[in-house]
């Protein structure tokens, strides 16, 4: 518990590890020595509650800045609560591009598809793969813009595509509309700082709760 919370980046996202720093926990050492099990339980609860609050904070912040439904961002956040003798909890945030059809309520219009304030001109909403419709565009369309369709693969001689649709006996290359989450990557440092702030506040509450239980117990002896 010497360095406090930190994050480890990866190509597809980042893992935030939430743990107390030695200075933060030093003030509670006397109580921890007196009732180590109660202090350890308080510490676990504090970390796990911090995970929940940080997950909510990140989902709302990214949803607001990137115009994405909070529920869609939450699906990219996975918590790993602390248990047993572990000293830290973890929160994974996947930053791979998210399907535009998931960021809000997509609507087909005469000129394309609109969702969450975004307009995909020349696109259409259709089930091509799977059970849910996605936003697609023919890569030969004059409205095709690679920035709106990240992760499209390149098919030799046919241009970029992430799927195919059959029409009139022929197959046409399609690209699926997605929204990049890479803009969130620079915020990991601030989220780690936020995690430490939340953890310290909750840890004080949880240790005070255990202290009051202890004082009540010895007062009844």
Average pLDDT over residues 57-76: 93
Q: In terms of C-beta density within 10 A (0-12 exposed, 13-18 middle, 19 or more buried), how is residue 31 classed?
A: middle
pLDDT of residue 42 exceeding 80, the answer is yes
CA distances from residue 52 to 8, 27, 65, 74, 151 in whole angstroms, order as listed: 19, 25, 20, 11, 31
- Please write the tens of the pLDDT for every residue from 136-179: 998 888 998 888 888 765 444 455 556 655 444 455 688 899 99
Domain borders along the chain are 6-96+183-219, 99-179
- Please write the tens of the pLDDT for every residue from 73-120: 999 999 999 987 778 899 999 999 999 999 999 999 999 999 999 999
What pLDDT shows up at residue 214? 83
Cβ–Cβ contacts within 10 Å for residue 162, how many?
21
What pLDDT shows up at residue 153? 54
Please give the full DSSP string across the chain, using - where no structure is assigned.
--S-SEEEEETTEEEEEE---HHHHHTTHHHHHHSHHHHHHHHHHHHHHHHHHHHHHHHHHHHHHHT--HHHHHTTEEEE---TT---EEEEEE-S-EEGGGSS--EE-SSEEEETTEEEET-EEE-SSSSS-EEEEETTSTT--GGGSTTPEEETTTEEESEEEEETTEEEEEEE-EE--GGGGGGHHHHHHHHHHHHHHHHHHHHHHHHHHHHHHHHT-
What pLDDT shows up at residue 56? 95
Average pLDDT over residues 11-35: 79
């Amino acid at each position: 518990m010497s360095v406090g919370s930190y994050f480890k980046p990866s190509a597809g996202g980042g893992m935030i590890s939430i743990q107390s720093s030695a200075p933060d926990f030093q003030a509670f050492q006397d109580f921890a020595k007196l009732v180590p099990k109660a202090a350890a339980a308080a510490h676990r609860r504090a970390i796990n509650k911090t995970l929940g609050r940080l997950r909510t904070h990140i989902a709302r912040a990214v949803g607001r800045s990137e115009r994405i439904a909070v529920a869609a961002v939450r699906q990219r956040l996975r918590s790993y609560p602390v248990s047993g003798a572990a000293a830290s909890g973890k929160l994974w945030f996947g930053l791979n591009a998210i399907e535009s059809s998931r960021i809000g309520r997509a609507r087909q219009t005469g000129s394309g598809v609109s969702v969450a304030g975004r307009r995909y001109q020349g696109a259409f909403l259709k089930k091509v793969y799977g059970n849910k419709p996605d936003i697609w565009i023919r890569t030969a369309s004059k409205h095709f813009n690679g920035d709106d369709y990240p992760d499209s693969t390149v098919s030799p001689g046919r241009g970029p595509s992430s799927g195919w649709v059959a029409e009139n006996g022929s197959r046409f290359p399609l690209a699926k509309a997605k929204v990049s989450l890479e803009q969130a990557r620079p915020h990991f440092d601030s989220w780690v700082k936020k995690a430490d702030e939340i953890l310290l506040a909750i840890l004080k509450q949880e240790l005070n709760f255990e202290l009051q239980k202890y004082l009540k117990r010895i007062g009844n002896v």
